[in-house]
Amino acid sequence: MTTRGKIVIGALIVTLLYFGINKLIGSGILFKKATTESVLLNSIELPTQTGSGRPNTAVPLAPLPGSTPTEKGAAVTWEVMAWNSQMAGMLANGGPRTTQGSSMAANGLDMQIVRQDDVAKMQADLVKNALDLHNNPAAPGLIVSIMGDGLPAFSAVQSQLEKAGTGLQILPYSPGKSFGEDKLMGPKEWLDDPKLALGKTIACYLRDGDQNIALKWCADNGLKVNPDETTYDPEAVNFMAATDFLVAAEKYIVGKPEQRTKVVKGRDTGVKVDVVADGVATWTPGDVNIAQQKGGLVNIVSTKDYSNQMPNIMVTTKLWYDAHLKEVEGIMTALAVAGDQVKTHPEALRHAADISAAVYGEKDKPGAYWLRYYKGVSEADRTGQVVELGGSKVFNFSDNLALFGLEEGGTNIYASVYKTFGDVQSKLYPKELPSYVPLDQMLDLTPLKKLQSQYKGKAIAPAEKQQFAADDEIRQSVSKRAWNIEFATGKSTFTPAAEQELTQLFDDLVVAGRLKVAVHGHTDNQGDPQRNQQLSEDRALAVQQWLARKSTSAFPAGRVQVYAHGATEPLVSNTAPAGRAKNRRVEIVLGK
Protein backbone atom coordinates (compact mmCIF):
# COMPACT_ATOMS: atom_id res chain seq x y z
CA MET A 1 0.00 0.00 0.00
CA THR A 2 1.28 3.49 -0.83
CA THR A 3 1.99 6.10 1.84
CA ARG A 4 -0.87 8.18 0.47
CA GLY A 5 -3.22 5.21 0.83
CA LYS A 6 -2.17 4.69 4.44
CA ILE A 7 -2.84 8.34 5.21
CA VAL A 8 -6.32 8.15 3.67
CA ILE A 9 -7.22 5.01 5.65
CA GLY A 10 -5.84 6.55 8.84
CA ALA A 11 -7.94 9.66 8.30
CA LEU A 12 -11.06 7.54 7.83
CA ILE A 13 -10.42 5.69 11.11
CA VAL A 14 -9.94 8.96 12.98
CA THR A 15 -13.15 10.36 11.50
CA LEU A 16 -15.14 7.29 12.53
CA LEU A 17 -13.75 7.49 16.05
CA TYR A 18 -14.48 11.21 16.17
CA PHE A 19 -18.16 10.88 15.24
CA GLY A 20 -18.74 7.56 16.99
CA ILE A 21 -17.39 8.20 20.46
CA ASN A 22 -20.36 10.24 21.77
CA LYS A 23 -22.85 7.67 20.50
CA LEU A 24 -20.72 4.79 21.78
CA ILE A 25 -20.49 6.14 25.29
CA GLY A 26 -24.08 7.30 25.36
CA SER A 27 -25.38 3.95 24.15
CA GLY A 28 -24.27 2.11 27.26
CA ILE A 29 -22.05 -0.29 25.35
CA LEU A 30 -19.09 0.80 27.43
CA PHE A 31 -21.07 0.48 30.64
CA LYS A 32 -23.30 -2.59 30.33
CA LYS A 33 -25.06 -3.48 33.53
CA ALA A 34 -24.22 -6.60 35.40
CA THR A 35 -26.71 -9.21 36.52
CA THR A 36 -25.56 -10.14 39.98
CA GLU A 37 -26.69 -10.90 43.49
CA SER A 38 -26.87 -8.04 45.95
CA VAL A 39 -23.55 -7.40 47.63
CA LEU A 40 -22.48 -6.75 51.20
CA LEU A 41 -19.57 -4.36 50.77
CA ASN A 42 -16.57 -4.19 52.98
CA SER A 43 -16.46 -1.03 55.03
CA ILE A 44 -15.62 2.01 52.92
CA GLU A 45 -13.59 4.52 54.87
CA LEU A 46 -12.22 7.80 53.63
CA PRO A 47 -8.98 9.71 54.16
CA THR A 48 -8.61 12.44 56.74
CA GLN A 49 -7.95 15.96 55.60
CA THR A 50 -5.13 17.25 57.70
CA GLY A 51 -3.85 20.72 58.21
CA SER A 52 -0.66 22.65 58.06
CA GLY A 53 1.50 23.58 60.98
CA ARG A 54 1.89 27.08 59.51
CA PRO A 55 0.91 30.10 61.58
CA ASN A 56 -2.29 31.86 60.50
CA THR A 57 -0.66 34.15 57.94
CA ALA A 58 -2.72 37.09 56.69
CA VAL A 59 -2.89 37.31 52.91
CA PRO A 60 -3.59 40.90 51.74
CA LEU A 61 -6.62 41.50 49.52
CA ALA A 62 -5.50 41.69 45.90
CA PRO A 63 -7.28 43.82 43.28
CA LEU A 64 -10.29 41.96 41.91
CA PRO A 65 -10.03 40.95 38.24
CA GLY A 66 -11.74 43.12 35.62
CA SER A 67 -14.54 42.11 33.27
CA THR A 68 -12.83 42.65 29.91
CA PRO A 69 -11.62 39.39 28.28
CA THR A 70 -7.85 39.28 27.86
CA GLU A 71 -8.09 37.50 24.47
CA LYS A 72 -4.45 36.48 24.60
CA GLY A 73 -2.48 33.64 26.10
CA ALA A 74 -2.56 29.85 25.78
CA ALA A 75 -6.10 28.78 24.87
CA VAL A 76 -7.71 26.08 27.00
CA THR A 77 -11.28 25.05 27.81
CA TRP A 78 -12.27 23.98 31.32
CA GLU A 79 -15.49 21.94 31.55
CA VAL A 80 -17.06 22.05 35.00
CA MET A 81 -20.21 20.79 36.66
CA ALA A 82 -22.35 23.29 38.56
CA TRP A 83 -20.32 22.78 41.74
CA ASN A 84 -19.25 25.32 44.35
CA SER A 85 -15.84 23.69 44.87
CA GLN A 86 -14.67 25.71 41.85
CA MET A 87 -14.87 29.15 43.51
CA ALA A 88 -11.09 29.61 43.36
CA GLY A 89 -11.10 28.78 39.66
CA MET A 90 -13.86 31.29 39.02
CA LEU A 91 -11.96 34.11 40.72
CA ALA A 92 -8.70 33.04 39.06
CA ASN A 93 -10.31 33.36 35.62
CA GLY A 94 -12.21 36.60 36.28
CA GLY A 95 -15.19 35.48 34.17
CA PRO A 96 -16.42 32.70 31.89
CA ARG A 97 -13.45 33.70 29.72
CA THR A 98 -10.16 34.89 31.23
CA THR A 99 -10.30 38.61 31.99
CA GLN A 100 -7.70 41.31 32.30
CA GLY A 101 -6.27 41.57 35.79
CA SER A 102 -7.02 37.93 36.65
CA SER A 103 -4.44 35.48 37.94
CA MET A 104 -5.01 33.22 34.91
CA ALA A 105 -4.15 36.14 32.62
CA ALA A 106 -1.09 36.91 34.73
CA ASN A 107 0.07 33.34 34.14
CA GLY A 108 -0.37 33.41 30.38
CA LEU A 109 -3.72 31.59 30.06
CA ASP A 110 -6.80 32.34 28.00
CA MET A 111 -9.34 29.96 29.55
CA GLN A 112 -12.97 29.42 28.63
CA ILE A 113 -15.02 27.89 31.46
CA VAL A 114 -18.01 25.87 30.24
CA ARG A 115 -20.70 24.15 32.29
CA GLN A 116 -21.01 20.43 31.56
CA ASP A 117 -22.99 18.22 33.97
CA ASP A 118 -22.88 15.12 31.73
CA VAL A 119 -19.93 12.90 32.67
CA ALA A 120 -20.26 10.78 29.51
CA LYS A 121 -20.09 13.95 27.43
CA MET A 122 -16.92 14.97 29.27
CA GLN A 123 -15.38 11.61 28.38
CA ALA A 124 -16.37 11.99 24.74
CA ASP A 125 -15.07 15.55 24.62
CA LEU A 126 -11.67 14.44 25.91
CA VAL A 127 -11.42 11.88 23.12
CA LYS A 128 -12.49 14.47 20.54
CA ASN A 129 -9.93 16.92 21.87
CA ALA A 130 -7.19 14.30 21.57
CA LEU A 131 -8.10 13.83 17.91
CA ASP A 132 -8.15 17.60 17.38
CA LEU A 133 -4.70 17.93 18.94
CA HIS A 134 -3.31 15.19 16.72
CA ASN A 135 -4.58 17.06 13.67
CA ASN A 136 -3.54 20.48 15.00
CA PRO A 137 -1.13 20.64 17.98
CA ALA A 138 -2.02 24.33 18.36
CA ALA A 139 -5.68 23.53 19.06
CA PRO A 140 -7.00 24.61 22.50
CA GLY A 141 -6.56 22.02 25.22
CA LEU A 142 -9.39 20.59 27.32
CA ILE A 143 -9.53 20.08 31.07
CA VAL A 144 -12.53 18.58 32.86
CA SER A 145 -13.32 18.68 36.57
CA ILE A 146 -14.90 15.62 38.17
CA MET A 147 -15.50 14.29 41.65
CA GLY A 148 -12.24 12.72 42.78
CA ASP A 149 -13.84 9.53 44.08
CA GLY A 150 -15.55 9.12 40.69
CA LEU A 151 -12.29 9.10 38.72
CA PRO A 152 -11.84 5.28 38.82
CA ALA A 153 -15.11 4.81 36.91
CA PHE A 154 -14.35 7.81 34.70
CA SER A 155 -11.04 6.16 33.78
CA ALA A 156 -13.00 3.62 31.70
CA VAL A 157 -12.54 6.11 28.86
CA GLN A 158 -8.82 5.27 28.87
CA SER A 159 -9.24 2.57 26.23
CA GLN A 160 -10.79 5.09 23.83
CA LEU A 161 -8.06 7.63 24.54
CA GLU A 162 -5.41 5.01 23.86
CA LYS A 163 -6.93 4.46 20.42
CA ALA A 164 -6.56 8.20 19.93
CA GLY A 165 -2.89 7.91 20.91
CA THR A 166 -2.97 9.29 24.44
CA GLY A 167 -4.31 8.69 27.97
CA LEU A 168 -5.71 10.43 31.04
CA GLN A 169 -3.55 12.83 33.04
CA ILE A 170 -4.41 14.56 36.33
CA LEU A 171 -3.41 18.15 36.98
CA PRO A 172 -1.76 17.76 40.40
CA TYR A 173 -3.78 20.53 41.98
CA SER A 174 -7.36 20.63 43.28
CA PRO A 175 -9.34 23.88 43.43
CA GLY A 176 -11.53 22.64 46.30
CA LYS A 177 -13.88 19.97 47.60
CA SER A 178 -17.45 19.21 48.51
CA PHE A 179 -18.06 19.78 52.20
CA GLY A 180 -21.68 18.88 52.77
CA GLU A 181 -23.44 19.68 49.51
CA ASP A 182 -23.00 16.14 48.12
CA LYS A 183 -25.16 13.96 50.31
CA LEU A 184 -27.45 11.01 50.81
CA MET A 185 -30.93 12.27 51.68
CA GLY A 186 -33.51 9.89 53.10
CA PRO A 187 -36.35 9.53 55.62
CA LYS A 188 -35.41 10.67 59.11
CA GLU A 189 -35.88 7.18 60.55
CA TRP A 190 -32.84 5.96 58.58
CA LEU A 191 -30.70 8.02 60.96
CA ASP A 192 -31.86 6.06 63.98
CA ASP A 193 -32.00 2.66 62.27
CA PRO A 194 -30.06 2.29 59.00
CA LYS A 195 -31.61 -1.17 58.47
CA LEU A 196 -34.87 0.58 57.60
CA ALA A 197 -33.24 1.46 54.27
CA LEU A 198 -33.31 -2.24 53.26
CA GLY A 199 -35.91 -2.75 50.56
CA LYS A 200 -35.86 0.96 49.72
CA THR A 201 -34.58 2.69 46.58
CA ILE A 202 -32.13 5.59 46.18
CA ALA A 203 -32.10 7.72 43.01
CA CYS A 204 -28.67 8.86 41.83
CA TYR A 205 -26.26 9.08 38.94
CA LEU A 206 -24.65 5.64 38.98
CA ARG A 207 -20.95 4.88 39.28
CA ASP A 208 -19.99 8.34 40.46
CA GLY A 209 -19.40 10.36 43.60
CA ASP A 210 -22.93 10.76 44.90
CA GLN A 211 -23.64 7.05 44.65
CA ASN A 212 -20.35 6.47 46.47
CA ILE A 213 -21.70 8.35 49.50
CA ALA A 214 -24.66 5.97 49.63
CA LEU A 215 -22.43 2.93 49.06
CA LYS A 216 -20.09 3.94 51.86
CA TRP A 217 -22.96 4.49 54.25
CA CYS A 218 -24.35 1.05 53.37
CA ALA A 219 -20.95 -0.58 53.85
CA ASP A 220 -20.40 1.21 57.15
CA ASN A 221 -23.68 -0.11 58.47
CA GLY A 222 -23.57 -3.65 57.06
CA LEU A 223 -26.36 -3.15 54.51
CA LYS A 224 -26.43 -5.20 51.31
CA VAL A 225 -26.72 -3.24 48.06
CA ASN A 226 -28.33 -4.35 44.81
CA PRO A 227 -26.04 -3.25 41.95
CA ASP A 228 -28.65 -4.00 39.26
CA GLU A 229 -30.75 -0.87 38.78
CA THR A 230 -33.35 -2.82 36.78
CA THR A 231 -34.36 -5.24 39.57
CA TYR A 232 -35.71 -4.95 43.10
CA ASP A 233 -34.26 -6.80 46.10
CA PRO A 234 -36.34 -6.48 49.30
CA GLU A 235 -33.32 -7.53 51.37
CA ALA A 236 -30.97 -4.86 50.00
CA VAL A 237 -30.69 -1.16 49.27
CA ASN A 238 -31.69 -0.58 45.63
CA PHE A 239 -30.72 2.17 43.19
CA MET A 240 -32.64 4.12 40.56
CA ALA A 241 -30.53 5.40 37.66
CA ALA A 242 -30.63 9.11 36.80
CA THR A 243 -28.90 10.89 33.92
CA ASP A 244 -27.49 13.55 36.26
CA PHE A 245 -27.70 14.83 39.82
CA LEU A 246 -30.66 17.16 39.14
CA VAL A 247 -32.68 14.38 37.49
CA ALA A 248 -32.01 12.23 40.57
CA ALA A 249 -33.69 14.86 42.75
CA GLU A 250 -36.53 15.18 40.23
CA LYS A 251 -37.26 11.44 40.44
CA TYR A 252 -38.03 11.83 44.16
CA ILE A 253 -39.97 15.07 43.71
CA VAL A 254 -42.21 13.67 40.95
CA GLY A 255 -42.53 10.23 42.57
CA LYS A 256 -43.12 8.35 39.32
CA PRO A 257 -42.86 4.57 39.93
CA GLU A 258 -40.64 2.21 37.96
CA GLN A 259 -41.64 -1.41 37.43
CA ARG A 260 -38.98 -3.88 38.50
CA THR A 261 -38.56 -7.65 38.68
CA LYS A 262 -38.28 -8.82 42.27
CA VAL A 263 -35.14 -10.84 43.05
CA VAL A 264 -34.25 -12.73 46.20
CA LYS A 265 -30.66 -13.84 46.78
CA GLY A 266 -29.89 -13.15 43.14
CA ARG A 267 -32.78 -15.24 41.77
CA ASP A 268 -35.57 -13.88 39.59
CA THR A 269 -38.92 -14.54 41.33
CA GLY A 270 -40.97 -13.56 38.28
CA VAL A 271 -42.90 -11.08 40.44
CA LYS A 272 -43.27 -7.51 39.16
CA VAL A 273 -43.24 -4.64 41.67
CA ASP A 274 -43.42 -0.85 41.40
CA VAL A 275 -40.69 1.12 43.16
CA VAL A 276 -40.30 4.84 43.75
CA ALA A 277 -37.33 6.88 44.90
CA ASP A 278 -37.36 6.72 48.70
CA GLY A 279 -34.07 8.60 48.99
CA VAL A 280 -31.69 10.58 46.80
CA ALA A 281 -27.95 11.01 46.45
CA THR A 282 -27.37 14.45 44.92
CA TRP A 283 -25.74 17.83 45.41
CA THR A 284 -26.64 21.51 45.29
CA PRO A 285 -28.97 22.62 43.78
CA GLY A 286 -30.49 19.10 43.82
CA ASP A 287 -30.78 19.13 47.62
CA VAL A 288 -32.30 22.62 47.56
CA ASN A 289 -34.86 21.54 44.96
CA ILE A 290 -35.90 18.59 47.13
CA ALA A 291 -36.32 20.77 50.21
CA GLN A 292 -38.20 23.57 48.47
CA GLN A 293 -40.38 21.56 46.08
CA LYS A 294 -41.34 18.52 48.18
CA GLY A 295 -39.43 18.05 51.43
CA GLY A 296 -39.65 15.02 53.68
CA LEU A 297 -35.99 13.97 53.45
CA VAL A 298 -33.09 14.78 55.77
CA ASN A 299 -29.34 14.46 55.47
CA ILE A 300 -28.39 10.90 56.30
CA VAL A 301 -24.70 11.43 55.61
CA SER A 302 -22.73 13.88 53.49
CA THR A 303 -19.28 14.97 52.45
CA LYS A 304 -19.20 17.05 55.61
CA ASP A 305 -18.86 13.72 57.40
CA TYR A 306 -16.86 11.90 54.71
CA SER A 307 -14.83 15.07 54.45
CA ASN A 308 -12.04 13.81 52.19
CA GLN A 309 -14.15 11.77 49.79
CA MET A 310 -14.75 14.38 47.13
CA PRO A 311 -11.94 16.70 46.08
CA ASN A 312 -12.41 18.42 42.73
CA ILE A 313 -9.96 16.64 40.42
CA MET A 314 -8.93 18.28 37.15
CA VAL A 315 -8.24 15.82 34.32
CA THR A 316 -6.85 16.29 30.82
CA THR A 317 -4.97 14.17 28.27
CA LYS A 318 -1.29 13.28 28.39
CA LEU A 319 -1.03 14.63 24.88
CA TRP A 320 -1.90 18.18 25.96
CA TYR A 321 -0.31 17.95 29.42
CA ASP A 322 3.14 16.85 28.25
CA ALA A 323 3.25 19.59 25.61
CA HIS A 324 2.05 22.33 27.97
CA LEU A 325 3.84 21.91 31.29
CA LYS A 326 4.38 25.68 31.50
CA GLU A 327 0.63 26.22 31.16
CA VAL A 328 -0.08 23.48 33.71
CA GLU A 329 2.15 25.25 36.25
CA GLY A 330 0.46 28.53 35.33
CA ILE A 331 -2.99 27.13 36.06
CA MET A 332 -1.81 25.70 39.37
CA THR A 333 -0.21 29.00 40.38
CA ALA A 334 -3.32 30.97 39.40
CA LEU A 335 -5.55 28.64 41.44
CA ALA A 336 -3.20 28.88 44.43
CA VAL A 337 -3.28 32.70 44.39
CA ALA A 338 -7.06 32.78 44.00
CA GLY A 339 -7.55 30.12 46.67
CA ASP A 340 -5.77 32.28 49.22
CA GLN A 341 -7.99 35.22 48.27
CA VAL A 342 -11.28 33.34 48.42
CA LYS A 343 -10.39 31.70 51.73
CA THR A 344 -9.32 34.96 53.30
CA HIS A 345 -11.50 37.76 51.93
CA PRO A 346 -15.34 37.89 51.68
CA GLU A 347 -15.08 40.34 48.77
CA ALA A 348 -13.14 37.81 46.74
CA LEU A 349 -15.63 35.04 47.56
CA ARG A 350 -18.59 37.22 46.53
CA HIS A 351 -16.92 38.05 43.24
CA ALA A 352 -16.22 34.36 42.62
CA ALA A 353 -19.91 33.58 43.29
CA ASP A 354 -20.99 36.18 40.72
CA ILE A 355 -18.68 34.60 38.14
CA SER A 356 -20.09 31.17 39.03
CA ALA A 357 -23.59 32.44 38.28
CA ALA A 358 -22.43 33.67 34.87
CA VAL A 359 -20.81 30.30 34.07
CA TYR A 360 -23.68 28.12 35.31
CA GLY A 361 -26.23 30.21 33.43
CA GLU A 362 -29.37 29.78 35.54
CA LYS A 363 -31.34 33.03 35.50
CA ASP A 364 -33.07 32.34 38.82
CA LYS A 365 -29.76 31.66 40.58
CA PRO A 366 -27.63 34.82 40.87
CA GLY A 367 -24.28 35.05 42.62
CA ALA A 368 -26.01 35.42 46.00
CA TYR A 369 -27.56 31.96 45.51
CA TRP A 370 -24.23 30.24 44.90
CA LEU A 371 -22.63 32.19 47.76
CA ARG A 372 -25.36 31.14 50.18
CA TYR A 373 -25.04 27.47 49.40
CA TYR A 374 -21.26 27.55 49.17
CA LYS A 375 -21.22 28.38 52.86
CA GLY A 376 -23.96 25.87 53.68
CA VAL A 377 -27.18 26.70 55.52
CA SER A 378 -29.94 25.09 57.53
CA GLU A 379 -33.42 25.72 56.15
CA ALA A 380 -36.93 24.44 56.76
CA ASP A 381 -38.22 22.32 53.88
CA ARG A 382 -41.81 22.29 52.62
CA THR A 383 -42.85 20.03 55.49
CA GLY A 384 -41.28 22.31 58.11
CA GLN A 385 -38.37 19.94 58.75
CA VAL A 386 -34.96 21.66 59.09
CA VAL A 387 -32.41 20.36 56.57
CA GLU A 388 -28.75 21.20 55.97
CA LEU A 389 -28.19 22.35 52.40
CA GLY A 390 -25.06 23.13 50.41
CA GLY A 391 -21.48 23.36 51.67
CA SER A 392 -18.16 23.40 49.82
CA LYS A 393 -14.56 24.41 50.53
CA VAL A 394 -11.93 26.18 48.49
CA PHE A 395 -8.40 24.78 48.53
CA ASN A 396 -5.27 26.87 48.61
CA PHE A 397 -1.71 25.70 48.11
CA SER A 398 -1.34 24.40 51.68
CA ASP A 399 -4.51 22.33 51.31
CA ASN A 400 -3.12 20.74 48.16
CA LEU A 401 0.11 19.77 49.90
CA ALA A 402 -2.05 18.07 52.53
CA LEU A 403 -4.32 16.40 49.95
CA PHE A 404 -1.42 14.85 48.05
CA GLY A 405 0.71 14.02 51.11
CA LEU A 406 3.54 16.50 50.55
CA GLU A 407 3.47 17.97 54.04
CA GLU A 408 6.01 16.65 56.50
CA GLY A 409 4.60 13.44 57.95
CA GLY A 410 1.61 13.71 55.62
CA THR A 411 -0.48 11.04 53.92
CA ASN A 412 -1.53 11.04 50.27
CA ILE A 413 -5.19 11.39 51.05
CA TYR A 414 -6.27 11.29 47.44
CA ALA A 415 -4.47 7.98 46.84
CA SER A 416 -6.56 6.42 49.61
CA VAL A 417 -9.78 7.89 48.18
CA TYR A 418 -9.00 6.68 44.67
CA LYS A 419 -8.17 3.11 45.70
CA THR A 420 -11.06 2.84 48.13
CA PHE A 421 -13.75 3.70 45.60
CA GLY A 422 -12.03 2.08 42.66
CA ASP A 423 -12.14 -1.22 44.52
CA VAL A 424 -15.78 -0.70 45.49
CA GLN A 425 -16.94 0.10 41.96
CA SER A 426 -14.99 -2.83 40.49
CA LYS A 427 -16.59 -5.19 43.00
CA LEU A 428 -20.11 -3.95 42.33
CA TYR A 429 -19.81 -3.55 38.57
CA PRO A 430 -17.25 -6.10 37.36
CA LYS A 431 -18.52 -6.05 33.78
CA GLU A 432 -18.68 -2.27 33.45
CA LEU A 433 -15.47 -1.68 35.36
CA PRO A 434 -13.37 -4.87 35.41
CA SER A 435 -10.37 -2.72 36.32
CA TYR A 436 -9.44 0.93 36.63
CA VAL A 437 -6.33 2.87 35.69
CA PRO A 438 -3.66 2.82 38.43
CA LEU A 439 -3.34 6.28 39.94
CA ASP A 440 0.41 6.52 39.37
CA GLN A 441 -0.19 6.24 35.62
CA MET A 442 -2.21 9.47 35.71
CA LEU A 443 -0.73 11.46 38.59
CA ASP A 444 2.72 13.09 38.53
CA LEU A 445 3.41 15.27 41.57
CA THR A 446 6.57 16.82 40.10
CA PRO A 447 4.89 20.15 39.18
CA LEU A 448 3.39 20.42 42.68
CA LYS A 449 6.76 19.67 44.28
CA LYS A 450 8.36 22.31 42.06
CA LEU A 451 5.84 24.90 43.21
CA GLN A 452 6.34 23.75 46.79
CA SER A 453 10.01 24.71 46.60
CA GLN A 454 9.11 28.06 45.05
CA TYR A 455 6.54 28.81 47.75
CA LYS A 456 8.92 28.35 50.66
CA GLY A 457 8.97 31.46 52.82
CA LYS A 458 5.99 33.07 51.08
CA ALA A 459 2.81 34.09 52.88
CA ILE A 460 -0.02 31.64 52.23
CA ALA A 461 -3.30 31.06 53.98
CA PRO A 462 -2.96 27.94 56.17
CA ALA A 463 -4.58 24.64 55.31
CA GLU A 464 -7.75 23.48 57.01
CA LYS A 465 -7.03 21.52 60.17
CA GLN A 466 -9.56 19.35 61.91
CA GLN A 467 -9.44 19.58 65.69
CA PHE A 468 -10.49 16.72 67.97
CA ALA A 469 -11.04 16.92 71.71
CA ALA A 470 -9.89 13.74 73.45
CA ASP A 471 -12.70 13.89 76.02
CA ASP A 472 -15.45 14.69 73.50
CA GLU A 473 -17.63 11.59 73.18
CA ILE A 474 -19.40 10.62 69.95
CA ARG A 475 -22.92 12.00 70.24
CA GLN A 476 -24.30 10.89 66.88
CA SER A 477 -23.17 7.61 65.37
CA VAL A 478 -22.79 7.49 61.59
CA SER A 479 -21.75 3.85 61.38
CA LYS A 480 -20.80 0.78 63.37
CA ARG A 481 -19.03 -2.28 62.04
CA ALA A 482 -17.02 -5.19 63.43
CA TRP A 483 -13.61 -5.71 61.79
CA ASN A 484 -11.98 -9.11 61.49
CA ILE A 485 -8.58 -8.02 62.80
CA GLU A 486 -6.74 -11.14 63.93
CA PHE A 487 -4.58 -11.17 67.05
CA ALA A 488 -2.21 -13.79 68.40
CA THR A 489 -4.05 -16.06 70.85
CA GLY A 490 -4.36 -14.39 74.25
CA LYS A 491 -2.23 -11.42 73.11
CA SER A 492 -2.62 -7.92 71.67
CA THR A 493 -0.13 -8.48 68.84
CA PHE A 494 -1.41 -8.67 65.26
CA THR A 495 -1.11 -11.78 63.15
CA PRO A 496 0.36 -11.42 59.63
CA ALA A 497 -3.16 -11.82 58.24
CA ALA A 498 -4.28 -8.70 60.12
CA GLU A 499 -2.18 -6.38 57.97
CA GLN A 500 -4.56 -6.39 54.98
CA GLU A 501 -7.57 -5.66 57.18
CA LEU A 502 -5.72 -2.86 58.97
CA THR A 503 -4.67 -1.30 55.66
CA GLN A 504 -8.26 -1.21 54.46
CA LEU A 505 -9.36 0.23 57.81
CA PHE A 506 -6.71 2.94 57.45
CA ASP A 507 -7.88 3.94 53.96
CA ASP A 508 -11.48 3.93 55.12
CA LEU A 509 -10.83 6.17 58.09
CA VAL A 510 -8.74 8.58 56.04
CA VAL A 511 -11.75 9.30 53.82
CA ALA A 512 -14.02 10.01 56.79
CA GLY A 513 -11.60 12.63 58.03
CA ARG A 514 -14.02 14.78 60.01
CA LEU A 515 -15.49 11.95 62.06
CA LYS A 516 -14.24 10.73 65.38
CA VAL A 517 -13.25 7.07 65.65
CA ALA A 518 -14.20 4.85 68.58
CA VAL A 519 -12.37 1.50 68.80
CA HIS A 520 -14.26 -1.03 70.92
CA GLY A 521 -12.41 -4.17 72.02
CA HIS A 522 -14.31 -7.42 72.76
CA THR A 523 -13.33 -10.97 73.77
CA ASP A 524 -15.12 -14.27 74.18
CA ASN A 525 -15.93 -15.62 77.68
CA GLN A 526 -13.03 -18.05 77.95
CA GLY A 527 -10.67 -17.47 80.87
CA ASP A 528 -10.56 -14.93 83.67
CA PRO A 529 -13.05 -12.03 83.22
CA GLN A 530 -10.59 -9.46 84.55
CA ARG A 531 -7.91 -10.71 82.18
CA ASN A 532 -10.37 -10.53 79.29
CA GLN A 533 -11.23 -6.97 80.18
CA GLN A 534 -7.58 -5.98 80.04
CA LEU A 535 -6.99 -7.95 76.84
CA SER A 536 -9.88 -6.18 75.08
CA GLU A 537 -8.40 -2.82 76.07
CA ASP A 538 -4.92 -3.80 74.94
CA ARG A 539 -6.22 -4.90 71.54
CA ALA A 540 -8.19 -1.70 71.03
CA LEU A 541 -5.11 0.31 72.01
CA ALA A 542 -3.03 -1.71 69.53
CA VAL A 543 -5.35 -0.59 66.72
CA GLN A 544 -5.22 3.02 67.88
CA GLN A 545 -1.42 2.98 68.05
CA TRP A 546 -1.09 1.29 64.65
CA LEU A 547 -3.17 4.01 63.01
CA ALA A 548 -1.20 6.80 64.71
CA ARG A 549 2.15 5.29 63.71
CA LYS A 550 1.03 5.01 60.10
CA SER A 551 -0.03 8.65 59.90
CA THR A 552 0.06 11.21 62.68
CA SER A 553 -1.48 13.75 60.31
CA ALA A 554 -4.49 11.56 59.54
CA PHE A 555 -4.95 10.53 63.17
CA PRO A 556 -4.12 13.55 65.33
CA ALA A 557 -4.41 13.44 69.10
CA GLY A 558 -8.00 13.06 70.24
CA ARG A 559 -9.42 11.57 67.07
CA VAL A 560 -9.33 7.89 68.12
CA GLN A 561 -10.94 6.80 71.38
CA VAL A 562 -10.56 3.38 72.96
CA TYR A 563 -13.19 1.35 74.83
CA ALA A 564 -12.83 -2.07 76.47
CA HIS A 565 -15.78 -4.42 77.00
CA GLY A 566 -14.16 -7.78 77.75
CA ALA A 567 -16.76 -10.52 77.30
CA THR A 568 -19.73 -8.43 78.44
CA GLU A 569 -21.23 -7.74 74.97
CA PRO A 570 -21.22 -10.95 72.91
CA LEU A 571 -22.68 -10.89 69.40
CA VAL A 572 -23.71 -14.54 69.60
CA SER A 573 -23.57 -17.40 72.07
CA ASN A 574 -20.14 -18.43 73.35
CA THR A 575 -21.10 -22.10 73.52
CA ALA A 576 -19.47 -23.08 70.20
CA PRO A 577 -15.99 -22.27 68.79
CA ALA A 578 -17.53 -20.45 65.79
CA GLY A 579 -19.56 -18.21 68.10
CA ARG A 580 -16.56 -17.43 70.28
CA ALA A 581 -14.57 -16.48 67.18
CA LYS A 582 -17.26 -13.93 66.23
CA ASN A 583 -17.20 -12.47 69.71
CA ARG A 584 -13.44 -11.89 69.62
CA ARG A 585 -13.66 -8.70 67.63
CA VAL A 586 -12.81 -5.04 67.29
CA GLU A 587 -15.74 -2.76 66.46
CA ILE A 588 -15.21 0.61 64.83
CA VAL A 589 -17.79 3.35 65.38
CA LEU A 590 -17.64 6.57 63.36
CA GLY A 591 -19.51 9.58 64.61
CA LYS A 592 -19.57 13.22 65.60
Examine the pLDDT at 15 and tell me if it is beyond 50: no
| Cross-strand partners of 226 | none
Looking at the DSSP bridge assignments, the partners of residue 147 are 312
> What's the pLDDT score for residue 28?
41
pTM: 0.83
Name the CATH topology of 71-180+308-379+391-423.
Answer: D-Maltodextrin-Binding Protein; domain 2 (3.40.190)
Q: Name the pLDDT band for 266 (thresholds 50, 70, 90).
A: confident
The model's confidence at residue 45, banded by pLDDT at 50, 70 and 90, is very low
Residue type, 496: P
* Per-residue pLDDT at 107 exceeds 70: yes
CA 237 to CA 227: how far, in whole Å? 9
Q: Strands (DSSP E) along 407-542, which ranges?
A: 477-483, 516-521
User: What average pLDDT does the segment 278-299 reach?
Assistant: 96
Average pLDDT, the chain: 88
Domain ranges across the chain: 1-30, 71-180+308-379+391-423, 477-591
pLDDT for 464: 75
Using CA atoms, how far apart are residues 565 and 568, in angstroms rounded to an integer? Answer: 6
CA distance 203 to 206: 9
- Lowest mean pLDDT, pick from 38-42, 456-460, 528-532: 38-42
Q: Mean pLDDT throughout 320-328?
A: 98
Does position 5 have pLDDT exceeding 50, yes or no? no
Do 71-180+308-379+391-423 and 477-591 have matching folds?
no
Question: What is the percent of the chain where pLDDT is above 90?
Answer: 70
Q: What H or E segment, with its residue span, contains residue 239?
A: strand 238-241
pLDDT band at 84 (very low <50, low <70, confident <90, very high): very high
User: DSSP labels for 147-171?
Assistant: EGGGHHHHGGGHHHHHHTT--EEE-
281 in Cβ contact with 203 (< 8 Å): yes
Collect all residues with Cβ–Cβ distance below 8 Å to 55 and sequence separation of at least 6: 462
φ, ψ (nearest 5 deg) of residue 178:
-75, 135
Residue 206, pLDDT above cutoff 50: yes
C-alpha 436 chain-centroid distance: 16
Residues 241-256: tens digit of each pLDDT: 999 999 999 999 999 9
Is pLDDT of 584 > 70? yes
DSSP for 312-337 reads: EEEEEEHHHHHH-HHHHHHHHHHHHH
pLDDT at residue 459 in the model:
61
- 499-517 tens-digit pLDDT: 888 988 999 899 888 899 9
Question: What gap in Å lies between CA 338 and CA 319, rounded to an integer?
Answer: 27
Kindly tell me if the per-residue pLDDT of 94 is higher than 70.
Answer: yes
Nearest to 507 by CA among 46, 16, 18, 117: 46
How far is residue 396's CA from residue 399's CA, in Å, rounded to a whole number?
5
Distances in whole angstroms, Cα of residue 458 to Cα of each of 123, 342, 455 = 38, 17, 5
**Rg for the chain, CA atoms, rounded:** 25
Mean pLDDT of 254-275: 95
Q: Is the pLDDT of residue 16 over 50?
A: no
477-591: CATH topology: 60s Ribosomal Protein L30; Chain: A; (3.30.1330)
